[in-house]
């Protein structure tokens, strides 16, 4: 799969759209549809086992269910990896680390770019 750069798991970073290299991914992680990989930068998702330096496998989608871990694009410029929750017409992007606050946005400020389907860790 193409490794499309880094995704923030902490403070959001600029959106990524270029292939930096390719990574081998087990076929069992892939379902129908397009996929890509991102290197995780930060520790905001550590309590669900996603650590700084891990590579996440993402299936491209523009929709998500409450509880999914997604790549979210905020205000068309910053991308972040967070748990997705829909609440009263708002979108909550939740970290899995108590050191980070949940960020809540109007629905029109958040675009889902993909959903987490796999994780690759190198020791």
Asked if residue 42 lies in contact with residue 8, where contact means CB atoms within 8 angstroms, the answer is: yes
pLDDT score at 100: 94
Supply 72's token pair: 């979210």
Phi-psi group of 49: left, alpha or beta (phi > 0 → left; psi -120 to 50 → alpha; rest → beta): left
pLDDT tens, residue by residue, 100-121: 999 999 999 999 999 999 999 9
pLDDT tens, residue by residue, 40-59: 999 999 999 999 999 999 99
CA 59 to each of CA 9, 70, 91, 100: distance values in angstroms, whole numbers, following the listed order: 17, 9, 20, 25
The single-letter DSSP state of residue 101 is -
Active site residues: 44, 82
| Pairwise CA distance, residues 113 & 121, whole Å | 22
Q: What percent of the chain has pLDDT over 70?
A: 86
pLDDT score at 52: 93
């Amino acid at each position: 799969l193409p490794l499309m750069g880094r995704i923030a798991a902490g403070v959001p970073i600029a959106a990524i759209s270029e292939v930096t290299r390719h990574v081998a991914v087990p076929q069992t992680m892939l379902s129908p549809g397009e996929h890509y990989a991102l290197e995780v930068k930060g520790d905001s998702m550590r309590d669900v086992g996603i650590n700084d330096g891990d590579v996440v496998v993402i299936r491209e989608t523009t929709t998500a269910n409450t509880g999914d871990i997604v790549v979210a694009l905020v205000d068309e410029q910053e991308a972040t990896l967070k748990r997705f929750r829909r609440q009263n017409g708002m979108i909550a992007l939740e970290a899995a680390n108590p050191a980070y606050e949940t960020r809540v946005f109007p629905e029109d400020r958040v675009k889902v770019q993909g959903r987490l389907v796999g994780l690759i860790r190198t020791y």
